[in-house]
């Protein structure tokens, strides 16, 4: 049975999270991720991470939240919708993943998480902890799954009944919710609703989804256009579907994304300049224009050199 005080904590924190614009908020016990340990070992042993060598670092920290926050008891997971109302025209144009349309999500998500952290610290109980926005060794999908915020799609992404266009963030902290975790509430056991659907596997032009839930990142268009530092391997010629940065193919074909709702965050919408860009503009982009256009964007991760490399690969 849940302690009444713990139930009140949950209600207040969820209400504040929704007020801040998060789409969902859930809680899980800060404990070692035994199941995820086996998958992470499999992923690394098969070199599915390619040049993302940082994934080999801090192996134990990825699995044990107490190594990130001493004496942590709770992982609070949140989802932030980024499905855009205004799409970039694909006629005579290259494509960008929707998550890169606006301001870098790290900036927006971190600010909201810090506000939520301060609310808990002042309005619920004094806590110690850290906020995480895809910038530390945290298995974000694993914690969102444990919190009951969705299920694991066959494309390796977190799926919900409102689609998959969500950023995930966490607060790992000392908040005490022992009776909640002991109760093992049904909401933390969300059913997998993929069924027999294999549209994401069939749609992936590079066959990066080698089988359900097993993703070879070195074949993924997002990896090739962002993480790949050298030249893109010639075997992928004609298979990038005009994607310049990232990829949304496996999400766009997912039936659950037909239920996606538009986000309400102005900073995630594409700029006027980005909306007017066409192939010729991309091809003639200068380093200074790149720096100005993407100074607060996730696209700066690929750098000007990486972006032009991809353009040349697509056009050759």
- Between the alpha carbon of residue 263 and those of residues 35, 82, 260, 269, 299, the distances in Å are 33, 5, 9, 9, 20
Chain centroid to CA 271: how far?
22
Question: Which CATH number characterizes residue 36's domain?
Answer: 3.40.109
The maximal CA–CA distance of the chain, rounded, in angstroms, is: 64
Per DSSP, the three-state class of 170 is strand
pLDDT digits (tens, 9 = 90+) for 215-272: 999 999 999 999 999 999 999 999 999 999 999 999 999 999 999 999 999 999 999 9
For the cut 60, the answer to whether the pLDDT of residue 118 exceeds it is: yes
Q: Do 3 and 179 form a contact (C-beta atoms < 8 A)? A: yes
**pLDDT top residue among 1 and 232:** 232
For the cut 80, the answer to whether the pLDDT of residue 182 exceeds it is: no
Residue ending a domain, choose from 135, 163, 188? 188
Residue ending a domain, choose from 188, 221, 243? 188
The CA angle 42-48-50, to the nearest 5 degrees, is: 135
Could you tell me the two tokens for 99?
């998550």
Per DSSP, the three-state class of 285 is coil
The pLDDT mean for the chain works out to 94
> Span 92-107, mean pLDDT?
97
Q: How far apart are CA 127 and CA 122, in angstroms?
A: 9
| Torsion angle of C-alpha atoms 287, 292, 293, 299, degrees rounded to 10 | 70
Q: How far apart are CA 62 and CA 64, in angstroms?
A: 6
Token pair 């992404």 in the structure block, residue: 157
| 203 shares a domain with 182 | no
Give per-residue burial for 14-42: e unless 16+ CB within 10 Å, then b.
bebbeebebbbbbbbbbeebeebbeebee
**Confidence band of 189 (pLDDT split at 50, 70, 90):** low
| 164 shares a domain with 45 | yes
| 40 shares a domain with 157 | yes
Q: Which of 3, 134, 252, 281 is catalytic?
A: 134
Q: How far apart are CA 120 and CA 8, in angstroms?
A: 12
For the cut 60, the answer to whether the pLDDT of residue 47 exceeds it is: yes
State phi, psi for 35 to the nearest 5 degrees: -60, -45
| 206 shares a domain with 139 | no
Q: How far apart are CA 15 and CA 13, in angstroms?
A: 5
For the cut 50, the answer to whether the pLDDT of residue 132 exceeds it is: yes
For the cut 60, the answer to whether the pLDDT of residue 187 exceeds it is: no
104 a catalytic residue = no
Q: How far apart are CA 76 and CA 13, in angstroms?
A: 9
> Span 289-293, mean pLDDT?
96
Residue ending a domain, choose from 169, 188, 207? 188
Write the DSSP string, 82-95.
---SSPPP-TTS-E
Q: How far apart are CA 215 and CA 42, in angstroms?
A: 11
270 in any annotated domain: no
Q: How many domains does the chain have?
A: 2
141 in any annotated domain: yes
Domain that holds residue 224: 199-259+276-315
| 134 shares a domain with 283 | no
For the cut 60, the answer to whether the pLDDT of residue 51 exceeds it is: yes
> Span 28-55, mean pLDDT?
90
pLDDT attached to residue 186: 47
Q: Which of 259, 39, 262 is nearest to 152 (CA)?
A: 39
Token pair 């266009």 in the structure block, residue: 165
pLDDT attached to residue 7: 83
| 100 shares a domain with 154 | yes
Q: Where are the beta strands (DSSP E) in 153-283?
A: 158-159, 166-173, 209-211, 214-215, 243-245
Q: pTM, whole model, 2 decimals?
A: 0.94
For the cut 90, the answer to whether the pLDDT of residue 48 exceeds it is: no
Q: How far apart are CA 189 and CA 59, in angstroms?
A: 26
For the cut 60, the answer to whether the pLDDT of residue 188 exceeds it is: no
**Confidence band of 134 (pLDDT split at 50, 70, 90):** confident
Q: How far apart are CA 113 and CA 111, in angstroms?
A: 6
pLDDT attached to residue 185: 54
**Confidence band of 2 (pLDDT split at 50, 70, 90):** low
For the cut 80, the answer to whether the pLDDT of residue 128 exceeds it is: yes
**pLDDT top residue among 28 and 183:** 28
pLDDT attached to residue 53: 80
> Which of the residue ranges 1-15, 59-73, 91-105 would you say has the lowest mean pLDDT?
1-15
């Amino acid at each position: 049975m849940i302690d009444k005080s713990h139930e009140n904590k949950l209600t207040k924190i969820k209400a504040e999270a929704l007020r801040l614009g998060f789409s969902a908020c859930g809680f899980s016990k800060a404990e070692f991720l035994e199941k995820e340990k086996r998958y992470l070992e499999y992923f690394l042993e098969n070199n599915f991470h390619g040049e993302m060598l940082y994934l080999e670092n801090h192996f134990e920290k990825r699995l044990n939240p107490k190594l990130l926050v001493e004496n942590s008891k709770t992982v609070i997971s949140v989802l932030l919708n980024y499905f855009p109302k205004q799409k970039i025209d694909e006629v005579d144009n290259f494509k960008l993943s929707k998550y890169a349309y606006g301001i870098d999500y790290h900036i927006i998500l971190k600010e909201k998480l810090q506000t939520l952290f301060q609310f808990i610290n002042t309005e619920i109980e004094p806590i110690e902890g850290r906020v995480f926005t895809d910038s530390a060794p945290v298995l974000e999908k694993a914690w969102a799954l444990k919190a009951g915020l969705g299920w694991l799609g066959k494309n390796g992404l977190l799926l919900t009944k409102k689609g998959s266009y969500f950023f995930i963030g966490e607060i790992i902290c000392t908040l005490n919710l022992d009776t909640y975790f002991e109760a093992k509430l049904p909401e933390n056991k969300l059913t997998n609703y993929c069924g027999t659907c294999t549209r994401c596997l069939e749609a992936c032009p590079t066959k990066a989804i080698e089988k359900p839930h097993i993703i070879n990142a070195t074949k993924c268009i997002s990896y090739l256009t962002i993480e790949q530092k050298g030249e893109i391997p010639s075997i992928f010629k004609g298979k990038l579907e005009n994607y310049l940065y990232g990829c949304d193919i496996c999400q766009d074909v997912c039936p659950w994304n037909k239920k996606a709702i538009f986000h309400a965050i102005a900073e995630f919408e594409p700029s006027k300049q980005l909306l007017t860009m066409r192939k010729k503009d991309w091809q003639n982009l200068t380093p200074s224009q790149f720096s100005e256009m993407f100074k607060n964007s996730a696209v700066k991760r690929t750098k000007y050199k990486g972006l032009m490399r991809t353009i040349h690969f697509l056009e050759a």
